[in-house]
């Protein structure tokens, strides 16, 4: 088993460059299938979910050319099948974006139900409701696969009962070449929704209102080539901000859009950190004992659920009692058992966690139970007394580019180790 070994207690200092956003790139790579010409995508993070997305594109017949470490060119004109590879797709939640993209371009997609992190039930009923509203027929198949097809998608008004990032993206992908106007109401407003709309509009699509709760998409018959650079990752940035605070360090987090970080910044300041915003960077410092606070996760612009485990680590050593209410996922506290092994005092009832601050976390052997839970364990390891080992790091590699190198450059003592499985 591969693990991270971290010697805790070292304040991080220096600068870190944030990579392109995972949740934007996993939508934008399948979106390239919609074009009638090759597209170039820049600022792509080197993470596992990108590797899987690129393999999925190739398995459909698209030509993928690596221009440099963070740039690829995708030629979708060579696509020869609309059947998405089972093993690859089940590795990654966002493989469901291939449904919208293939349906939008070719009128047909056969896709296995997606994999990814487990935070309880993760239905895709709203995605399917959207496809049906555009005139597609949705057929469940054996082996937990679905087929979605249509001779001609027609624009329609679609109200999402729940604000869903995935459904908003998938409906945008399917509607972009449909006949007429599609209106998505109660749409998600996350930065990656805006990024996807900007990419598609660069290809000649007509999408307005992305970033608000009403998105209007007028169908377009031809989408031309485009060169597009992915936005910085809001959650990776938030994670390094939390690391700076947890280690009582002083870190310049570069290549960010400070506006995207406002809900995270506000909470760090409430806890006693100093956050200085610049044009495309934030400097995060902390020297005092952290103060407790209450957090509720919500759709953007609320506090992101994908920062919930990381912030829980900070609250574990804050003075007083804090409450976290998880407003998106039914089961996003599986990391709590691991954090308790490091001395945290956390009680979970339903969707609320009550955290009583302890003076210090202590090192332990822990597991990454999912991507952001894994990031939380890294933060805890950096802050704890002693040497922590974290297993299951494949989850962390799904979403954090070069985390060992980035942290080493900030002065952390972290290494990737191999231990025999039976150990």
* Positions marked active-site: 117
Task: Give the H or E element holding residue 128.
Answer: helix 125-133
* Token pair in block for residue 183: 């209106």
CA distance 38 to 20: 20
CA distance 331 to 344: 19
Contact between 162 and ligand UD1 (CB under 6 A)? yes
Distance of closest approach, residue 303 Cβ to ligand UD1, in angstroms: 10
CA distance 207 to 31: 14
Q: Which is nearer to ligand UD1, 35 or 158 (CB)?
A: 158
Q: Total number of residues binding ligand UD1 (CB under 6 A)?
A: 20
Contact between 111 and ligand UD1 (CB under 6 A)? no
415, 38 contact by CB (below 8 A): no
Q: Which is nearer to ligand UD1, 70 or 351 (CB)?
A: 351
**Contact residue for ligand UD1 among 126, 176, 223, 364 (CB under 6 A):** 126
Distance of closest approach, residue 60 Cβ to ligand UD1, in angstroms: 19
Contact between 132 and ligand UD1 (CB under 6 A)? no
**Contact residue for ligand UD1 among 8, 38, 166, 249 (CB under 6 A):** 166
**Contact residue for ligand UD1 among 5, 122, 323, 409 (CB under 6 A):** 122
Residue 43 Cα to chain centre, angstroms: 15
**Contact residue for ligand UD1 among 10, 20, 23, 311 (CB under 6 A):** 23
Q: Concatenated DSSP letters for 303-331? A: B-GGGHHHHHHHHHTSBSEEEEE--S-S-
Contact between 91 and ligand UD1 (CB under 6 A)? no
Interface stretch with ligand UD1, choices 118-126, 141-149, 173-181, 223-231 (CB under 6 A) = 118-126
CA distance 193 to 28: 10
Q: 29, 37, 31, 30: which is closest to 77 by C-alpha?
A: 37
Distance of closest approach, residue 135 Cβ to ligand UD1, in angstroms: 19
CA distance 404 to 393: 11
**Contact residue for ligand UD1 among 306, 326, 338, 389 (CB under 6 A):** 306
Distance of closest approach, residue 392 Cβ to ligand UD1, in angstroms: 18
- Alpha-carbon Rg for the chain, nearest whole angstrom, is 21
Interface stretch with ligand UD1, choices 62-70, 163-171, 198-206, 239-247 (CB under 6 A) = 163-171
Contact between 215 and ligand UD1 (CB under 6 A)? no
In this structure, what are the phi and psi dihedrals at residue 277, rounded to the nearest 5 degrees? -95, 135
């Amino acid at each position: 088993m591969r693990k991270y070994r971290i010697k805790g207690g070292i304040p991080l200092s220096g600068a870190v460059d944030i990579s392109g956003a995972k949740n934007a790139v996993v939508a934008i790579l399948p979106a390239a299938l919609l074009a009638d010409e090759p597209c170039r995508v820049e600022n792509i993070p080197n993470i596992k979910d990108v590797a899987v997305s690129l393999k999925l594109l190739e398995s459909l017949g698209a030509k993928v050319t690596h221009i440099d470490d963070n740039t690829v060119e995708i030629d979708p004109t060579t696509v020869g099948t609309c059947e998405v590879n089972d093993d690859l797709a089940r590795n990654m939640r966002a493989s469901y974006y291939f449904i919208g993209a293939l349906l939008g371009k070719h009128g047909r997609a056969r896709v296995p139900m997606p994999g990814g992190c487990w935070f309880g039930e993760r239905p895709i009923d709203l995605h399917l409701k959207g496809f049906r509203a555009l005139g597609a027929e949705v057929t469940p198949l054996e082996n937990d696969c679905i087929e979605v097809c249509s001779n001609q998608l027609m624009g329609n008004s679609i109200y999402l009962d729940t604000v869903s990032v995935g459904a908003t993206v998938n409906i945008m992908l399917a509607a972009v070449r449909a006949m007429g106007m599609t209106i998505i109401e109660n749409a998600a407003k996350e930065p990656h929704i805006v990024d996807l709309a900007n990419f598609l509009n660069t290809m000649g699509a007509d999408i307005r209102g992305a970033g608000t709760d009403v998105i209007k998409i007028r169908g377009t018959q031809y989408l031309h080539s485009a060169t597009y650079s992915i936005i910085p990752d809001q959650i990776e940035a938030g994670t390094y901000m939390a690391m700076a605070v947890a280690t009582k360090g002083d870190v310049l987090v570069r290549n960010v859009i400070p506006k995207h970080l406002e809900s995270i910044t506000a909470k760090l300041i409430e806890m006693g950190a100093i956050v200085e915003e610049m044009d495309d960077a934030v400097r995060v410092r902390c020297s005092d004992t952290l103060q407790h606070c209450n957090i509720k996760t919500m759709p953007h612009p609320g506090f992101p659920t994908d920062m919930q485990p990381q912030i829980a680590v900070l609250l574990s050593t804050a003075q007083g009692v804090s409450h976290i209410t998880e407003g998106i996922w039914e089961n996003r506290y599986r990391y709590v058992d691991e954090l308790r092994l490091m001395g945290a005092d956390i009680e979970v009832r339903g969707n609320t966690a009550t955290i009583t601050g302890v003076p210090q976390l202590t090192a332990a052997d822990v597991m990454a139970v999912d991507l952001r839970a894994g990031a939380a364990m890294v933060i805890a390891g950096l802050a704890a007394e002693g040497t922590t080992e974290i297993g299951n790091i494949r989850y962390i590699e799904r979403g954090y580019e070069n985390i060992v190198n980035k942290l080493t450059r900030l002065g952390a003592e972290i290494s990737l180790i191999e231990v025999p499985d039976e150990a």
